[in-house]
Chains A and B, each alone.
Chain A
Amino acid sequence: MNALVRLWRRLPGTARAGVILLGVFILCAIIGPEVTPYDPSAIGAPPLRPPSGNNLLGTTATGGDVLSQLLVGIRLTMELAFWVGVIATALSVLVGVTAAFLGGIWDEVLSLLCNVFLVIPALPLLIVLLGYLPSKGQLPTIVVLSALGWPWGARVIRAQTLTIRSRDFIAAARETGERSWRIIVFDIIPNIVSLIAASFVNTVLYAIGASVALAFIGLTSTTTWSLGTMLYWAQSANALQGGQWWWFVPPGLAVALIGTALVLLNTGIDELSNPRLRDARTVTKLSGRRVWPTDPTPVLGADFGRRGLAGLARSFSRRSLIDEAAAATGGDA
């Protein structure tokens, strides 16, 4: 618990916003389907009503409740993205670490496999594959998305494992007779945790984008309520042209907000694992401009308050320092 609190304190503000936003959506996904006011597939309410007390987000053309569909949709979309993230990340760790650790012919073969999958354009292939699968439910989509989503992470993880493998502590572990799997699990994996986390977040992001796009084209099941399916129905009923924004905007906004939360979270992971990213932000925030090791020690206060466009333009000139010194000493510095 203490470690979590410390981690939270180290996160930059934008990443905290991302975590909170994502938390809200995860909560929606968990309890949402239990608290829907209506059955999402139910029809018969007055169609195309704007938001009101009865239907908080209005109704669709067939009289379905938009809020109920949205809550179930968030669950289905997040569920799919989560499993794709887990499977694809597990695959990329497996392939990346194995390739880098074993080296030699294994590395060659796995890297080749990785590059081949990287070159395959995902969306067109998904369209072709899903067009021919007999069932179009969640499971085939998860399998196909995972199968195409792992090589990005695998490449990065392989590169990082390669540099870690050549460090002294790995050599020391090997000298003391540790088994290979022990070195991998206890020495290498802990050192690439942030990379694995980033790759997980990226894969989830990709899965959400791809699944929503596929559903929108109408290639996944149109009878279950995912966010993409909602958009598909809204679009095929010309909701936007008809001015029924309450049908079209909520699912799109939900996808956009989940995506933003994930990107913000990823920048946070980036800053945690790369101290330079973090320090640069803090220093500039304090002094209002970039501070160099060769600069005189900045006098706090003199540099405060120069923000905005003028501050940006000014920070690009080295004169700003001299000017400030001159102002402080009365003009004869």
Chain B
Amino acid sequence: MSKFPGTLQPAAYKAIAAMLGVGHQGSLWHQYVTYLGDVIHFNFGTDVTQYPASVSTVLGASVWWTLMLVGVSTVIAFILGTGLGILAGWRAGGWLDRSLPGLMFLQAIPYFFLALLVVEVFAITLGWFPSAGGYDGSSVSPGWNWAFISNALDYSFLPALTIVATSVAGWMLQMRNVMVTTVGEDYVVAAQAKGLSDRRVIFTYAARNALLPQLQGFGLALGFVVSGALVMEIVFSYPGIGLLLVNAVNSTDYPLMQAIFLLITFAVLIANLVIDLVLVVFDPRVRAREAR
């Protein structure tokens, strides 16, 4: 309504207010309790820009795109980076370790810069992949069929590639550093002295312990998946939460923004809770501390 300051008749104003469900009666406290009750029922009100769709419908349509693409890329980057970090840490000073500065350069490139270059080369010049969007709306429609899934995979390749390329070095560096410290521990030396195979020493003794701090970072990263690759979604016009948020800010769509923030916060909290539980399973020290 702030879009038309002073130009609305009082009657029209009232009609729009009733249509969007704003201007509740009652005290602030009463409104807040009503809001909490609505949230429990996933009722975030009516979307202002995509009227008459409800906010939860709009959210539900885009959250899966982000979750699938950014979630899968984050997991790939984590596994790849951790694996490489294990090898680099085991042979600190080796060729893999010395290639780290190159990977750091890849990580230091502003994300959208790399993404635009990749789009220019692979999508526009070579034409191997589509340059923007989540799927080809003219030939397929969303659903559980192979035509749509393969089409969506095709569209998600470049975004996923850029996410993995820019985030793998961070995981690798962290894992490498913890690994180098862990390899110096007495129990790893003892395992080596027992004559165990190198592979067993690396994975069962060193990497398994070095993985614990890494898991905590993974929890935070997973939580940020939902808010995640905001810039990526802008560059690739990917129909996810990030693009939705930017559009909501630009069109001052308060109900949508509020719901997105609630969703993001919940995602982070839930991911952290899950990782805390996983750590209890993996780390006996946490269990012992809690038991005391």
Residues in A lying within 8 Å of B, measured CB to CB: 14, 17, 118-121, 123-125, 127-128, 131, 205, 209, 212-213, 216-217, 231, 235, 240-241, 248, 252, 255-260, 262-264, 267, 270, 274, 276-277, 280-285, 289-290, 292-294, 307-309, 311-312, 315-318
Contacts and interface: CB of A to CB of B under 8 A. Distances in A.
Given A124-B230, A212-B110, A213-B111, A119 B265 contact: yes
Interface string B232-251: 00100000001001100110
Interface of A, secondary structure class, is helix
Contact of A240 (B96, B116, B242, B265): B116
A285 B98 CA distance: 10
Nearest to B257: A128
Nearest to A209: B110
Nearest to A258: B108
B199 A255 contact: no
Nearest to A279: B184
Contact of A284 (B91, B107, B109): B91
A127 B173 contact: no
Contact of B92 (A127, A256, A263, A281): A281
B268 interface: yes
B93 interface: yes
B124 interface: yes
A249 to B, nearest CB: 9
A14 B231 CA distance: 30
The 3 closest A-B pairs by CB, nearest first: A259-B108, A284-B93, A280-B92
Interface in B112-136: 112-113, 116-117, 120, 124
B94 interface: yes
Interface stretch (B54-62, B138-146, B175-183): B175-183
Contact of B91 (A231, A282, A289): A289
B120 A308 contact: no
A276 B249 contact: no
23 contacts: A124-B242, A131-B249, A131-B250, A213-B231, A240-B116, A252-B109, A255-B110, A256-B109, A256-B113, A257-B108, A263-B107, A267-B173, A274-B181, A276-B180, A276-B181, A277-B92, A284-B92, A284-B93, A290-B90, A290-B183, A294-B192, A294-B193, A308-B95
A131 B252 CA distance: 9
Given A255-B113, A281-B92, A17 B101 contact: yes
B269 interface: yes
B189 interface: yes
B264 interface: yes
B109 A213 contact: no
Contacts of B116: 235, 240, 248
Contacts of B245: 124, 127-128
A256 B110 contact: yes
A321 B187 CA distance: 22
B189 A294 contact: yes
Given A124-B260, A128-B249, A277-B92, A293 B97 contact: no
Interface of B: 90-97, 100-101, 104-105, 107-113, 116-117, 120, 124, 173, 177, 180-181, 183-184, 189, 192-193, 195, 197-199, 220, 223-224, 227, 230-231, 234, 242, 245-246, 249-250, 257, 260-261, 264-265, 268-269, 272
Given A123-B230, A124-B264, 15 more contacts: A119-B223, A120-B265, A121-B227, A128-B245, A131-B249, A252-B110, A255-B108, A256-B105, A257-B105, A257-B108, A274-B177, A282-B93, A311-B95, A317-B198, A318-B197
B236 to A, nearest CB: 13
A312 B117 contact: no
Nearest to B96: A312
A65 to B, nearest CB: 21
Contacts of B100: 14, 267
Contact of A280 (B101, B112, B180, B246): B180
Contacts of B265: 119-121
B109 A292 contact: no
A260 B101 contact: yes
A231 B110 contact: yes
A121 B110 contact: no
Contacts of A315: 91, 94
A124 B223 CA distance: 14
Given A119-B269, A280-B93, A216 B183 contact: no
Nearest to B111: A213
B230 A264 contact: no
Contacts of B93: 280-285
B110 A280 contact: no
A127 B110 contact: no
B184 A292 contact: no
Contacts of A284: 91-94
Chain A CB within 10 Å — which of B96, B108, B234, B272 has the most? B108
Given A231-B110, A292-B192, A294-B193, A240 B120 contact: yes
A276 B178 CA distance: 10
Contacts of A259: 107-109
Contacts of B96: 312
A230 B172 CA distance: 32
Contacts of A256: 105, 108-110, 113
A241 B124 contact: yes
Nearest to A267: B173
A119 B231 contact: no
A127 B108 contact: no
A125 B262 CA distance: 12
Contacts of B90: 290
Contact of B268 (A121, A213, A283): A121
B291 to A, nearest CB: 21
